[in-house]
Amino acid sequence: SSTSQTLRGAKGEAEGKIKLFSPAKVNLFLRIIRRRPDGYHDLASLFHTVAFGDSLEIKVLPDAEKDALECNLPGVPVDESNLVIRALKLFREKSGIERFFGVKLEKQIPAQAGMGGGSSNAATAFFGANLLCGSPASPEDLIRWGDDPVIGSDATFFLSEGTAYCTGRGEIVTPIEGLPIKEGLSVYLVKPNYGLSTGKVFKAMDLSALSTVDPEELLQTFKDKGTSHSSWVNDLEKPAFTVSPDLSELKDFLATEWGFEAVLMSGSGSTIFCLGDPSGGSQDFEAATKEKFDIEGIWKTSFMRRPSPTEWYQEV
Ligand code: C5P
């Protein structure tokens, strides 16, 4: 594309500063398969990106010996505990390119929300660093390079085009060409005023009380019918509701009163997503939900894919 042409300098390297969209995700289903000897759990989940997310500006710092991260939210750490910093380090290790980067992160995706915010930022920084270095890694290489628990189990998913069946810890990504989802289907992301720790939710899980439906069958149902069916499962809901009984009440309220096509927790929570439009309209819905529950935010968005790398970024 012309954008990627203009980003290439004489040495085949992108110049200047690029701005990338760093989307959130939801899990259309999430099955836990088993606990592994390393403490992680094998899972099988269908991930999808949405049009709600953060933005990340990245540039090479020519003479620096350290990456520099800035964030618009004061509560977000900007040291190695931020997955962006870990991703840039991982990029140097995998590529052998000793270059340091400046990143400005503008956050919308709440933390501990089950929307993959940190992993998305890590993947986006990884992608941006690769582009600024002249794309030594292909998209497939990037997914392989990103397969490291230091940047979170969801990071490799965010290096896909936005629809993927993920297994293992979550890092084994099988891209899906897209689902027959109704154009313009609304996705409401409802985030209560508290987050949930992924580790804590996994610990609260009763492994003898998991659902038994075959994930490959679930995948086929979604491939055939998009979201127009009733096969909705997230094995992490039960333990999340044990950790936070409030969340169970919120889900009941969302599922019974508004006529949504589906209501499900995303990832390990605490976000609950609702598909379709609420009977009574979105204003009533948002007001009633906020009146009854302590809510950080309700965002109306839609499913979104990134079919080509050029849609990942723009020059700024
Ligand atoms: O990979 P991530 O950093 O998101 O995982 C956070 C925690 O969630 C892990 O330390 C682990 O306790 C738990 N986890 C798990 N099985 C997975 C993913 C995460 O048990 N597949």
All structural domains of the chain: 2-177+305-315 (3.30.230.10), 186-302 (3.30.70.890)
| Phi and psi, residue 87, nearest 5° | -65, -40
Would you give the DSSP letter of residue 74? T
Q: How confident is the model at residue 152 (pLDDT cuts 50, 70, 90)?
A: confident
Q: Please state the rounded mean pLDDT for residues 69-88.
A: 95
Q: 128 CB less than 6 Å from ligand 1?
A: no
With beta carbons less than 8 A apart as the criterion, state whether 1 and 24 touch: no
The tokens for 209 are: 């009380």
Q: 203 CB less than 6 Å from ligand 1?
A: no
Q: How confident is the model at residue 197 (pLDDT cuts 50, 70, 90)?
A: very high
Query: pTM value?
Result: 0.93
Q: 305 CB less than 6 Å from ligand 1?
A: no
pLDDT of 139: 85
Q: How far, in Å, are 50, 190, 209, 220, 299 from residue 45 at the CA level?
A: 16, 20, 18, 12, 23
All residues at 6 or more sequence positions from 263 whose CB lies less than 8 Å from its CB, including other chains: 232, 251, 254, 255, 272, 273, 274, 275
- Is the predicted pLDDT of residue 294 greater than 50, yes or no? yes
Residue whose CB lies within 8 A of the most ligand 1 atoms, among 153, 196, 197, 243, for a mutation test: 153
Q: Please state the rounded mean pLDDT for residues 70-74.
A: 95
Q: How confident is the model at residue 313 (pLDDT cuts 50, 70, 90)?
A: low
C-alpha 279 – ligand 1 centre gap (Å) = 37
